[in-house]
């Protein structure tokens, strides 16, 4: 099998990730932050070390790293806890449902209003689009760093500066960029960076994080045990425990810990250049194929490519690729706004997501499989 669905979740994982998760389950997986015995302390130490690794990678303070289950939970917590009621929110026109749905619900509940800014054009165009939509009560801007369908990368450093000038809370969805692009929470004026452990960071599923830019604590979203201040009815008013009710997933977090060490050793810039090289090979193979419709938001070459074969439904193409041992994802990728921009129609598109473990041969095999499907379906 050739795995090319890395935009959904990277696979395989570095062997050290699997080894340490098994070692954790076998040797020391106590409840972190609940006791002072060996197992609890050892688990807590590993979790703390992982906070430090994430803080180093994203240029933040380790206490400001809050663990969640995934990016969606991270975004929901960040948005709902930092939201100023009755205020106005800005989101981009390429947001994933993990931003669009919470914001839509917020508006439905009359807690906020929102506008969508266009990401078409240059960086200056995007900033002008944002400026044109600012209202007196705009309190929050949420945007993805990199689209999960079109390789559009937003100028988050410039947007962060604009947000700071206008005293707007800036939340970034780093689902497709964490571990692939350099992100500095401090330099980019990000108030909350929401990331997955299982994509570009190469950790396991079941762990994500919010990297807060400061130690401000908003309203709690999930309440419960934290192992501290147990006699009080309210959640702790400090990070990270303010947002970490219940037992953390120690095995997943220690897996992420090893993944971050692996990533550091590999160097994320080198990995990105490698993946872009594979992307360019595939793009060059497909761009002259008369039956292929390639969807691109800009000229940037990343690691994620969307396409269709003539009018074949994307699900049919993905199924046929699967029969040929190529794993990709079809449909709308939980990103209806992005697909609207790509104009993919009623059946979305086939998405190829390239990862660090892919090779040139994987790309050539995928191309051969696509050609084979064309021969089968296009007479």
Partner 1 sequence: MCVASLRSMTIALKAKKVLNEAFIECEIIKLVPHMTKRGCAYGIKFDCINIYSVENVLKQNRVKYTEIFRL
**Where on the chain is the footprint of partner 1 (CB under 8 A)?**
32-33, 35-36, 41, 44-45, 48, 51, 62-63, 226-232, 236, 238, 240-241
Residue nearer to partner 1 on the CB measure, 241 or 347: 241
Question: What distance lies between CA 3 and its chain's CA centroid?
Answer: 19
Could you tell me the smallest distance in angstroms from the CB atom of residue 238 to partner 1?
6
Name which of 75, 39, 58 is nearest 194 in CA terms.
75
Could you tell me the smallest distance in angstroms from the CB atom of residue 97 to partner 1?
32
Residue nearer to partner 1 on the CB measure, 45 or 368: 45
Helices (H), 147-267: 156-165, 250-266
The pair of structure tokens assigned to 198 is 């299982």
Could you tell me the smallest distance in angstroms from the CB atom of residue 25 to partner 1?
21
278 cis-preceded (ω within 30 degrees of 0): no
Residue nearer to partner 1 on the CB measure, 1 or 231: 231
Please enumerate in sequence order all residues whose Cβ is within 8 A of that of 10, keeping only pairs 6 or more positions apart, or say none. 198, 199, 200, 202, 355, 356, 357
* Alpha-carbon dihedral 96, 99, 100, 103, rounded to 10 degrees: 180
Maximum distance among all Cα pairs of the chain, rounded to whole angstroms: 73
Could you tell me the smallest distance in angstroms from the CB atom of residue 236 to partner 1?
7
Residue nearer to partner 1 on the CB measure, 227 or 331: 227
Identify the burial level of 86 via C-beta atoms within 10 angstroms of its C-beta, where 0-12 means exposed, 13-18 middle and 19 or more buried: exposed
Could you tell me the smallest distance in angstroms from the CB atom of residue 178 to partner 1?
21
Residue nearer to partner 1 on the CB measure, 115 or 214: 214
């Amino acid at each position: 099998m050739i795995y090319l669905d890395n935009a959904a979740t990277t696979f395989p994982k570095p062997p050290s990730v699997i080894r340490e998760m098994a070692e954790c389950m076998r040797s020391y997986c106590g409840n972190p932050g609940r006791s002072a015995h060996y197992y609890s302390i050892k688990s807590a130490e590993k979790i703390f070390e992982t906070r430090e690794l994430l803080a180093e990678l994203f240029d933040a303070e380790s206490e400001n790293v809050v663990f969640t289950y995934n990016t969606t939970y991270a975004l929901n917590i960040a948005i709902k806890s930092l939201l100023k009621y009755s205020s106005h929110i800005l989101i981009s026109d390429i947001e994933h449902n993990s931003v669009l749905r919470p914001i839509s619900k917020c508006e439905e509940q009359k807690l906020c209003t929102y506008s969508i800014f266009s990401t078409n054009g240059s960086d200056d165009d995007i900033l002008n689009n944002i400026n044109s939509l600012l209202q007196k009560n705009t309190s929050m801007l949420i945007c993805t760093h990199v689209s999960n369908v079109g390789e559009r990368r937003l100028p988050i450093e410039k947007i962060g500066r604009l947000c700071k000038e206008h005293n707007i809370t800036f939340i970034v969805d780093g689902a497709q960029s964490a571990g692939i692009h350099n992100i500095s929470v401090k330099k980019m004026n990000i108030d909350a960076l929401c990331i997955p452990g299982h994509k570009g960071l190469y950790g396991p599923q079941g762990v994500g994080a919010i990297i807060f830019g400061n130690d401000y604590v908003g309203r709690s979203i999930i309440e419960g045990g934290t192992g501290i201040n147990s006699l009080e009815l309210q959640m702790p008013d400090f990070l990270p425990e303010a947002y970490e009710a219940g037992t953390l997933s120690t095995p997943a977090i220690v897996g992420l810990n090893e993944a971050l060490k692996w990533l550091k050793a590999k160097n994320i810039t080198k990995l990105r250049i490698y993946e872009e090289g594979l992307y360019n090979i595939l793009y060059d193979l497909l761009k002259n194929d008369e039956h292929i419709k390639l969807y691109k938001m800009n000229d940037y070459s990343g690691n994620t490519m969307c396409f269709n074969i003539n009018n074949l439904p994307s699900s049919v193409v993905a199924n046929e690729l699967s029969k040929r041992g190529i794993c990709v994802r079809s449909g709308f990728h939980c990103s209806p706004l992005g697909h609207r921009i790509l104009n993919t129609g009623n059946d979305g598109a086939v998405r190829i997501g390239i990862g660090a473990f892919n090779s040139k041969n994987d790309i050539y095999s995928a191309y051969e499989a696509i050609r084979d499907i064309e021969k089968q379906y296009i007479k």
